[in-house]
Structure 1
């Protein structure tokens, strides 16, 4: 039997574990036979309904946390695209035959993302194992009551630890974002040339603050750069600030972008956490209508001409910073542009998706540029983020620079 002959819906319904499929809005799409049996509900009572309308918290238990804990887990899975095995939960269920009568139940849930072809979260798989009988084994005796009390106490302790970790991560994220905002420069006017910059943090708790942009208007030319530090959180924000400042200074005195990136690479060797950082730098010569560029392992800038032709500036790409054991000169290349063209620099959060070739993301970027090439810089930047950002939570931060040449 090959894969095409397998009846996957039949397999789903035959699974011995209780499994339900939910939308990212937590509405039931389907549930297998084991789930229906365990929950005491029919498929008609579930499909199309909101999870917590079907299974709310017990209103008679002011300490009930089942809804909050499960919702937090499912929303985290939708945002991060990572599975979450929850701590043991006490989640009472209303009797389907006796409204208002609640049954004390204990559950061990696991929530898993089901990804679409583009890497976004299409569905949430919610698997539950009921352990009520295990906890209540020997109930009525001291041993059974002690076991129940101990397991429930451990579950509460795990939930408290998870909540403290969540709050600590949230505080670090907030501090890192404030630091990021302080270090990224405000965009200054570029004469009559339109420009726009964007920074969008990731949806994950700490996957922020490794990306940067810089636009420097110099005598006779403009230097534009974006970069991406490996890692996230406060440490990445600190490294990002050092590298952005160093490249901005080097671009002001270097003969070309390759030389500026060579200086940055040498400096990066002395900065802990700067290894494998990617960056790209473009010099715009307004008088000769040329772009001179060099890349340290970074996704290529996109140049969209007024006729809709899109060219990716990928003729001068070298490894990321610190990737070579010895210093070597970096390459640079040059291309012409026409009035009305648009130059876009970005970090990989805009084009990369899990389980998708990078060329697919670049094609999506090119198509969006062509479609919106007549828009002003601000509107084009918004369109790129709207069209290219993942529909369910970005898992990598994104920096973006748009210039109308």
Structure 2
């Protein structure tokens, strides 16, 4: 069927369960017919009004928490962009025909986000399963057995709420630890002699503001030389960040004593074999010799660095690419290649979140990156990095982590 002929408003109204749409300010935008029927309220009594203006907590019961729990759930959806299924909730709902009289109801809600084109939550879907009849005895009378069941269900609901709160606090603590690890492990932007550098770090949507992507700059022994690297560990969050920290530190140390980038990656590959979580990790490192105007490089399964020459020629450094760090049971020497540059060139290293898109060939993303770097090559590295992220990343953020480092040679 042609999607354009489907009347989605009619579908919404015909949904068999209670469903409402709310704005991020928790104002009713629409309700379906079943929501009106089950709640005992007309559509015009709800649409345009705040959720808790329509359904406040029972003022006669200081222990009533159903609506406050619902508000907390909706706020979690707005904060995380993730669906939130709530435990069974007891609500005291005011009788629409008798002001001041409250009905004891039991609802099982689920709240889900609706995203706009920019990736932000623009609407909340609030679905409710009415389970009061499962709690109440037939005929409106509560039997002793039902009271026991009601008490047990209510206790279980409170236990689940407490568990959700503990998980929320644990998540917040994990985020604090992850941010501290990121700040400790990833260097800030820096001046490399007369050469300026810029770094950017963007975790995926929904991540802890930290990820498995990493970058590094190392002053190398012997002459005016610099090691520039990026890498990518599979996964997000604290676990991936821990692996990232280990691999970054190992490559930083190896680069200072290695004869070249290939040897540095050889050492890192051997180390990756004994690090849990380093499976399929990738990395690329470049050794820049400012005196000789040369770049030697080697890649372990990573996307190629980009060298943008002052005249606008864009060169992908892709002549020394090998499998990821742990691909060989017995690590073998990795390839190494070189390139030359003139003063004013730009070197850019990045991770796949910058160029990869679903249902799009990777060459399309690489071409987009090359064009952005070429067009903005005369700008300061800080402005250049901002321009590249603005042009390549979706407005609401990417679904994969992104690291970018740009050095003016």
The verdict on a shared fold, with TM-score over 0.5 as the criterion, is: yes
CA shift digits 1:356-398 (9 cap, x unpaired): 7656655665565466544433344445556656655766554
Q: CA deviation at 1:160?
A: 0.7
Q: 1: distance between equivalents of 2:273 and 2:157?
A: 46
In the aligned structure 2, how far is the partner of 1:329 from the partner of 1:121? 49
> How much has 1:214 moved relative to structure 2?
0.7
Is 2:359 the partner of 1:347? no
Q: Provide the rounded CA distance (Å) in 1 between the counterparts of 2:36 and 2:371.
A: 45
- Aligned equivalents of 1:62, 1:384: Cα separation in 2: 54
Relative to structure 2, which stretch is displaced further, 244-253 or 175-184? 175-184
Q: Look up the SS of the partner of 1:244 in the other structure.
A: helix
Which is higher, the Rg of structure 1 or of structure 2?
2
Residue in 1 aligned with 2:245? 241
By relative contact order (CA 8 Å, sep 6+), the higher-ranking structure is: 1
The correspondence of residues 3-402 of structure 1 with structure 2, limited to 5 A, is 5-23=5-23, 26=26, 28-44=28-44, 46-47=46-47, 51-52=51-52, 54-78=54-78, 80-95=80-95, 102-114=102-114, 123-138=123-138, 139-201=141-203, 204=206, 206=208, 208-218=210-220, 219-304=223-308, 312-352=316-356, 365=369, 369=373, 373-384=377-388, 397-402=401-406
Contact 1:227–1:278 (8 Å) recurs in 2: yes
1-side partners of 2:217 and 2:385: how far apart?
15
Deviation, structure 1 residue 16: 0.8
Please, which moves more after superposition, 84-93 or 262-271?
84-93
- Seen in structure 2, the aligned counterparts of structure 1 residues 155 and 230 have a Cα distance that, compared at 3 Å, is same
Post-superposition Cα deviations, 1:285-331, rounded to whole Å, max 9, x if no partner, equal 33454443332233444445556665554454333221233423333
2:407 alignment partner in structure 1: 403
Aligned residue pair count: 405
CA distance in 1: counterparts of 2:51 and 2:346, whole angstroms: 47
- Give CA deviations for 1:38-69 in whole Å, capped at 9, x if unaligned: 34455555556554555454455444444553
Q: Tell which deviates more after alignment, 76-85 or 161-170.
A: 76-85
SS of alignment partner, residue 230 of structure 1 = strand
Give the conservation status (yes or no) of the 8 Å contact 1:92–1:104. Answer: yes
TM-score, L = length of structure 1: 0.81
Give, in angstroms, the shift of residue 154 of structure 1. 0.8
The C-alpha deviation readout for 1:216-258, integer Å capped at 9, x for no partner, is: 1333322111222234444433322221121112222334323
**Would the aligned equivalents of 2:348 and 2:405 in 1 still touch at CA under 8 Å?**
yes
CA distance in 2, matches of 1:136, 1:291: 76
Gaps of 5+ in 1: none
Q: For the structure 1 residues 339 and 135, does the alpha-carbon distance in structure 2 shift closer, same or farther, using more than 3 Å as the test?
A: farther
Distance, in Å, in 2 between the alignment partners of 1:293 and 1:101 is 76
TM-score if structure 2 supplies the norm length? 0.81
Q: Are residues 393 and 52 of structure 1, via their aligned partners in 2, closer, same or farther at CA, if it must alter by over 3 Å?
A: farther
* 3-state secondary structure, aligned to 1:275: coil
Take 2:209 and 2:323, find their aligned partners in 1: how far apart are those partners?
Answer: 23
Contact 1:119–1:354 (CA under 8 A) maintained in structure 2 = no
User: 1:256/1:47 Cα in 2 relative to 1: closer, same or farther (>3 Å)?
Assistant: farther
Instruction: Indicate the larger mover: 334-343 or 219-228.
Output: 334-343
More deviation, 334-343/112-121: 112-121
| Alignment root-mean-square deviation, CA | 3.7
For residues 126 and 368 of structure 2, the distance between their equivalents in structure 1, rounded to whole angstroms, comes to 32
Unaligned runs of 5+ in 2: none
